[in-house]
Structure formats: C-alpha cells, structure tokens
Amino acid sequence: MPVITYREAIRHALAEELERDSNVVVLGEEVAQFNGAYKVTEGLLAKFGPKRIVDTPISEAGFIGMGLGASMLGVRPVMELMFWSFYSVAFDQILNNAANVRYMSGGQINCPIVIRGPANGGTNVGATHSHTPENVLANHPGIKVVVPSTAADAKGLLKAAIRDNDPVMFLENTLLYGEKGEVPDGDIVIPLGLADIKREGTDLTIVTYGRSVHHSLAAAAILEKEHNISVEIVDLRTIRPLDIDTVLKSVAKTHRVLIVEEQKPFASVGSQLAFMIQKEAFDELDGPIHRLATIDAPAIYSPPVETEQLPNPARVLKAALAAME
C-alpha cells in the first residue's frame, strides 16, 4: 500500500474526481499558477487547464458566492480557502444561502459545493488566522462538516464530499499536510458520518478528531506503557453528520470518557458530545465525562505558549489520568 503525505492524498482525490466528472472544478486563491498556497493543487493546472483550475481574486465573499451559484446549476466546485478563518467574510453565502437552498426550494435545487482549506492553530500566525469553526458550521442544518486526521481519511472523505449533493465544509490542518500514511490505491470513498476506531482499548474512551487524534494516540501509548491503562480512541472524522452510535458503543465498553478537541471549550463540539453521551449512556458511565480543549483565549502568537494553549500529548495524558481517578 503506497505511503503518501496528507497533502498528496488530497491532491490525488482532487485529480481523480476531476477525471471522473467533468462538472468538478477547483477554484481559490493561488490554486492554479502558484500550485496552491500549501502546494495541495500542485500540477493540477498543467493537467486539467485553466477552465477547471481557476485562480480567484482575494475576495472570499465573491468567489464563494460564485461557486454557490455554479453549484446550483450543476457544477461541482471545490473551493479552497487559504485559511478557514476567512470563512467569516463569506458567512452569508455559506451559512445563510448554501445551508438553506435545498430546504427552501423544497428539494428542487441541490448545492454540491465543497469548501476546503486549513482550520487550525499551532502555526504561530496569530488570532485572526487560527480559527477552528467546525462548531459554528455544524450549528447550521444543511451543512456537512468533515475533519480528517490521516492521509487515507483525507482522500476517502474528500472524494465522498465532492460527490455529495449537499454543501460540505472540509477542514484540514496545516500541520498535517506533511504527515505520511498508508493510502489504498484505487477509488476509495469513505462515507460521511462514519467514525473510526483508531485504537482499541478497554479502560477509557477518548473521543476526538483532526490533529488531536495524533496527540491522543501518543498519550495512549504512554498510558498503556507506564500506567497499564488501555485507551480506545474514536476518531469522529465527520462532525455533522455525527456517528454517535460508534461513540456510545465505545462508552459501553470502557465506561469512562475523555473528549479531546482543538476547539475553545465554550459551546464547542465537545459540549454537544458530552450532552449526547450523558443523555444516551448515563448508566454506562463510571465517572464524569472529562474534556480537554484549547485554552479559552484568542490564539497566542508566541510559539512555545501556543503549543501549551492547544491540546498536546502531555495535556492529553494529564486529562486522561484525571478521567481515570
């Protein structure tokens, strides 16, 4: 099985879908001539030409609106945001229009648009370029939200997102672009709304997604080696639709829960998860649900301080031990 980077996996998904469906186009800032701000779209312009790989002005409101209109007419646009922090400029287009068009048209108009790009902290680019808006996006019915943690998941989920008839928000992580992993050859498509058990365990369930999966796996290895604690890690992969059944099955197995996310803690994805778990599996719990999130402040510019603000293996380890008390 080939070992490729997260970045390459996304590029492969884009290329395969561009070849499979002539209605698929890629648009965004610097995606064509510059090969993408993060080199995700490298080589696509040369292969597919300027009518399908399109550089846009630095105007998220403009090009997201254009993509939305095109999607309503049968095009399947994949729009790249240089940072998901800039989605707020196109808030009306994404969350007022794309989210509601199928419902308000009585199912007559689909909106098969994918908006993708990095949504994360940890790159020391300051508070205005480090947002993780999956909770805001998921709050709007009609929007699907995907946050892949591995190269294989990035490829399979992106292919599913492009083929979906609803608007899909695809949140990547700058710090994962260079991470390598095994990715099956061929047309791998991972259904949206299906979580994945990244590690089997019996004593504690960690529910997580995105880069926090990697921090949780690192902490789980230490917990098993040094504390004889067996950790099961549930990677949500998609925030909405949410695979709560896989989460509840794991909770019934381990009876203790830690939720790890790179969100601010107030009104986050973890908040919703904690409510759903206690509502549906209260009798399975042997202790309170524990949560670990980014420390509740704007993203800190200082590299060493931002590292401690975000989830990291040491913070996950400490939170896991507290959950086991």
**Quick one: how many helices (H) and strands (E) in the chain?**
12, 14
Please pick, among 16, 80, 129, 131, the residue that the annotation labels catalytic.
129
Q: Specify the pairing of strand 3-5 against strand 24-28.
A: unpaired
**60 tagged catalytic:** yes
Laid out side by side, the sheet with 76-80 consists of 53-55, 24-28, 76-80, 114-118, 168-172, 144-146, 238-240
> Contact at 8 Å (CB) between 234 and 195?
yes
> Contact at 8 Å (CB) between 209 and 150?
no
Q: Specify the pairing of strand 231-235 against strand 196-199.
A: antiparallel
How far apart CA 299 and CA 288 sit, in angstroms, is 28
**131 tagged catalytic:** no
Spell out a b/e string for 72-109, using b for 16 or more CB atoms within 10 Å of the CB, else e: beebbbbbbbbbbbbbebbeebbbebbbbbbeeeeeee
Residue 321: closest CA among 184, 192, 229, 211: 229
Residue 58 CB partners (closer than 8 Å, separation 6+): 29
> Could you please report the per-residue DSSP string of 157-200?
HHHHHHH-SS-EEEEE-GGGTT-EEE--SS---PPTT--EEEE-
Please pick, among 60, 80, 172, 232, the residue that the annotation labels catalytic.
60
Catalytic residues: 60, 129
